[in-house]
Amino acid sequence: PVYLTAKIIYWFSTNHKVIIIYLCSNRKTISSLATMSGKGKGGRGEKKSTTSSAKAGLQFPVGRIGRYLRQGKYASRMGAGAPVYLAAVLEYLCAEILELAGNAARDNKKSRIVPRHITLAVKNDEELNKLLGGVTIASGGVLPNIHAVLLPKKSATK
């Protein structure tokens, strides 16, 4: 809408953005935000900071993992790609476990993943079982398994 009969009643500037409040003759008070940089660069505004996780296309926090690597004193020097690589590996492992646990939950007709589903997912997958072999998951239980010797014998009579 065009406000030809508008009169500027107040304006103030914050962070290179000018906020103008108009009083229109045929409407109530209308506020408008005019984005203008301080040097008149055509309203480009300030640059939005981009996280290193967003640059890498990851969900896991690359900056936080980098900080933990630095504070842990694992090495005297650390490359810029180390936290990105570690975040990608951790995100992949979490996605893999969550996908298998979600399948286990769906098999049990549940919509929520509980520790039992994580245990079933890890123990039924060969590679994850090898990776997490010495890990105990709280409230996870064990795989259902009955030894063949303990099963009742099948009779040969017909």
Across residues 45-62, what is the average pLDDT? 92
Share of the chain above pLDDT 70, in %: 71
How does the average pLDDT of the chain come out, rounded?
81
Q: What is the pLDDT of residues 100-124, one digit of tens each?
A: 999 999 999 999 999 999 999 999 9
Question: Could you tell me which residues come within 8 angstroms of residue 143 by beta carbon, excluding any fewer than 6 positions away?
Answer: 119, 120, 123, 124
CA atoms within 13 A on the CB side of 36: 12
What number of other Cβ atoms are within 10 A of residue 84's Cβ? Answer: 20
- Scan for tokens 């020097």, then name that residue: 77
Q: What is the pLDDT of residues 11-41, one digit of tens each?
A: 444 444 444 444 444 444 444 444 444 555 5
Q: Is the pTM of this model over 0.75?
A: no
Polymer length of the chain = 158
3-state secondary structure of 80: coil
Q: Which of 19, 21, 20, 24 lies closest to 4, judged by CA? A: 24
**pLDDT for the residue 155:** 80
Q: Which amino acid is at 131?
A: L
Q: Which of 78, 97, 100, 80 lies closest to 89, judged by CA? A: 97
Q: How far apart are CA 77 and CA 6, in angstroms?
A: 62
Strands 17-23 and 7-14 come out as antiparallel
Backbone φ and ψ of 148, nearest 5°: -60, -30
**pLDDT-based confidence at residue 154 (cuts at 50, 70, 90):** confident
**pLDDT for the residue 50:** 94
**pLDDT for the residue 85:** 97
**pLDDT for the residue 40:** 56
